[in-house]
Each structure stands twice: as C-alpha cells, then as structure tokens.
C-alpha cells in the first residue's frame, strides 16, 4: 500500500508540477477531435455509399458504382486501422508529393475513411429496415429517388441505427490509441510520457484507463438521452 502511495505521489508531481496535465489535455483534445471529425466524415461517406448500394441494379451505372463501393468497403474493413494509418502516412502521401501534413489531420482522414466503410453497412441495414412503402409514397407524389431518400427514408433509418452509430463512435474513441504510430499525441502518448518522466507506469496507465471508461460512459449516456428524445417526439405526433 505504501508502495502504491509513493507511485501516486510521483504521478501527481509530474502531472501537476512538471506540466503533465497540459500534455494530457492536448492528448484528450486530439483524441476527441480525431474521433468526432472521423465520425462525421464517416457518416457522410457511409450515407453516400449506402444510398448507392441500395439503388436498383437494372442499369449498368448502378452496378458499376455498387462494385466500386463494395471494393472500398472490403478494403477498409479488411485491413487493420494501424496498417491504414501507416500506408497513408508513409506510402500514399510521399507518392502524392505531400511532405508536410499534420499527423492529427492524417489520423482524422484515415479514421473518417475507415469509419465510412463500417457506417455504410450500418446505414444500409437501416435503410433496408424502413418500410418500402415510404419510398413508393415519396415517388408517387413526384419526388425523385435522391430527394425521397434524403428527406424521407434516411431520417427514419437514422432513428433505427442510432445505438449502432454510438457504438461506432465509442470504437473510434478507443482506436485513437494507435495514432501515435504517425506521431500524433493522444491520451496514450500523454500518459506514456508521464510514465517515462516519473519512471513508473502503473498509475499513469490506470488513470488513462479511467479516462477512457469515463468517455465511454458519457457517450453512452448521451446516446440514451437522444434515443429517449426521439421516442418522445414519435409519441407526440
């Protein structure tokens, strides 16, 4: 017990007196930035891909687009996130002649592309869960396919997939721990540096785990509140 108290004291000395808290705040900011922006990019990409993949396939163009989207989804779902980060940062960017891009920006782009592949399948299942009569009703009053999809079908699909989108956001939060491979500072890097400065890793890693747990609990509570609000709005109609 005394040994743990000593480790805790070393941690607080580095955290408060050596400026460790500033690095943790920066790491937390980067973690949330990468996860939130990655999710938003993923929602945009995933919605477009899902809309393409549910198109009727009796014409050639929808079949070609569906094949391209299928390849994209298979590529990003079939490779680990860390491999995607490394290939994008150390292979694609040099080939494109890009020598300077902030590591947080790189991580955000890769997380968005990766999330788009997963969200496309989530969104596609949500679209398919909406009664086909909704699409037929929109088309019967003169709305085009795209307008009917964006204004009628997708809003209903989002209600059905909200918990799954929340799980995807939680997964992104946890996966940010690999962005250090491209030099970005996240929570892991911040607490690892504190551990290196204090020559002790037990308490830093324990605090890091508690922060991740707190983030997940806050996100889960927010999702539940949104679900409850949506249910109330449906009942009031």
pLDDT digits (tens, 9 = 90+) for 91-127: 999 998 888 889 999 999 999 999 999 999 888 888 8
Global confidence as pTM: 0.86
Structurally, the chain folds into a number of domains equal to 1
Model pLDDT for residues 148-191, shown as the tens digit of each residue = 877 778 777 777 788 888 889 999 999 998 998 888 888 988 99
Q: What CATH number is attached to the domain comprising 189?
A: 1.10.3720.10
Residue environment code for 122-134, b if the CB has 16+ CB neighbours within 10 A, otherwise e: bbbebbeebeeeb
Query: In terms of residue numbers, what domain contains 58?
Result: 2-236
Number of alpha helices (DSSP H) and beta strands (DSSP E) in the chain: 11, 0
- Per-residue pLDDT of 102-112, as tens digits, reads 999 999 999 99
Phi-psi region of 54 (alpha: psi -120 to 50; beta: other; left: phi over 0): alpha
Which DSSP letter does residue 78 get? Answer: S
């Amino acid at each position: 017990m005394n040994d743990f108290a000593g480790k805790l004291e070393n941690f607080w000395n580095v955290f408060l007196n050596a400026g460790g808290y500033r690095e943790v705040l920066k790491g937390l900011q980067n973690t949330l930035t990468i996860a939130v922006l990655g999710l938003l990019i993923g929602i945009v990409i995933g919605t477009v891909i899902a809309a393409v993949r549910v198109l009727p396939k009796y014409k050639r163009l929808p079949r070609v687009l569906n094949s391209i989207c299928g390849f994209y989804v298979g590529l990003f779902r079939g490779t680990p996130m860390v491999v995607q980060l490394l290939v994008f940062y150390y292979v694609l960017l040099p080939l494109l002649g890009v020598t300077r891009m902030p590591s947080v920006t790189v991580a955000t782009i890769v997380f968005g592309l990766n999330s788009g592949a997963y969200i496309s399948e989530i969104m596609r299942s949500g679209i398919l869960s909406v009664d086909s009569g909704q699409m037929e009703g929109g088309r019967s009053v003169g709305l085009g396919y795209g307008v009917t999809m964006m204004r009628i079908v997708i809003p209903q699909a989002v209600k059905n997939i909200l918990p799954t989108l929340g799980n995807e956001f939680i997964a992104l939060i946890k996966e940010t721990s690999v962005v250090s491979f491209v030099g970005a500072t996240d929570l892991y890097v911040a607490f690892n540096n504190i551990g290196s400065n204090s020559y002790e890793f037990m308490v830093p890693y324990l605090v890091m785990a508690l922060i991740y747990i707190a983030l997940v609990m806050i996100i889960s509570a927010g999702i539940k509140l949104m679900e409850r609000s949506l249910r109330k709005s449906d009942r009031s109609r």
